[in-house]
Amino acid sequence: MSNIAFIFRRLSTILAVAIVTLTLIGVTSGILLAFYYQPSAGGAYTSLRNIDQTISYGWLVHAMHTISGNLVIGLALVQLVVMFFGERFRRSWLVSWVSGIFFTLSAIGLSWTAMILSWDQLGFWRFKIELGTIEALPLIGSQLRDALTGGTVSTITVEHLYTLHSYLISIGALGLAVVHLGGLLVQEKEIQAEKLAIAAQSEADSADNQNIQLTA
């Protein structure tokens, strides 16, 4: 059972490293894309086409940004399951668990806010459908829809979601990923320290037993 728990813990740490790496790739590629991307209803689609077709290696940076964003969601969900089955309760585990949940939500939020940023037919109509779901929320649905769109789906909508995607959620996701990995590394050190303490105590008990036998 302890071997299984060790495998789950080690796998969880490896996944956390992969998540941080993918997050850094997403942030770095996003910064590079921001030099050429135009957050407007008329310019978003054109600027992305320009990035893919005209800018040197722009297509590669765009692909890395998209792929890293999709992969990080899948890895984050898998890691939550691994942590649930492989870790035991302690403060560092709780920090990693909570930060992992919020990181997963932020990764999904990044994917959602990116939906309209390409300003293509698929993204536009998917976003319109999502807005209908948001508007159906009781009490705050209409207000939340207006806050996101600025009233109608237009350049203001792209600017609002671009700000959320590129600044607020991205910075939060990167911070949560670092905290998440840090909590797991601290837990690894705590477990190793406990094992060393148990081994030292076992050796001390064994030495005491030998002394008692010699005395007798």
DSSP string of 18-60, one letter each residue? HHHHHHHHHHHHHHHHHTT---STTHHHHHHHHHHHTSTTHHH
The answer to whether 139 and 101 are in contact (CB under 8 A) is no
Letter string b/e over residues 42-81, b meaning 16 or more CB atoms within 10 A of that residue's CB = eebbebbeebeeebeebeebbebbeebbebbbebbeebbe
Is residue 110 within 8 Å of residue 170, measured between CB atoms? yes
Most confident of 64-78, 120-134, 201-215: 64-78
State residue 12's pLDDT score: 85
Name the pLDDT band for 138 (thresholds 50, 70, 90): confident
pLDDT in tens, 45-55: 999 999 999 99
2 pLDDT exceeds 70? no
pLDDT digits (tens, 9 = 90+) for 144-190: 898 888 888 899 999 999 999 999 999 999 999 999 888 888 877 77
What is the pLDDT, as a whole number, of residue 166? 93
First-to-last C-alpha distance (Å) of the chain: 39
Nearest CA among 155, 179, 165 for reference residue 102: 179
Residue with tokens 């996944």: 15
pLDDT for residue 76 = 93
Q: Which comes out higher in pLDDT, residue 198 or 139?
A: 139
Whether pLDDT at 91 is above 70:
no
Looking at residue 195, its pLDDT comes to 66
Among 86, 96, 107, residue whose Cα is nearest residue 165? 107
Q: Quick one: pLDDT band at residue 200, thresholds 50, 70, 90?
A: low
Nearest C-alpha neighbor of 93 from the set 107, 109, 79: 79
Model confidence at 34: pLDDT above 90:
yes
Residue 64 has pLDDT above 90, yes or no: yes
Q: Which of 158, 64, 170, 25 is nearest to 110 (CA)?
A: 170
CA distance 150 to 158: 10
Q: How far apart are CA 79 and CA 93, in angstroms?
A: 13
Q: Is the pLDDT of residue 194 over 80?
A: no
| Rounded-to-integer distance, Cα 16 and Cα 22, Å | 10
H/E element, 139: none
| Superfamily of segment(s) 2-184 | Cytochrome Bc1 Complex; Chain C (1.20.810.10)
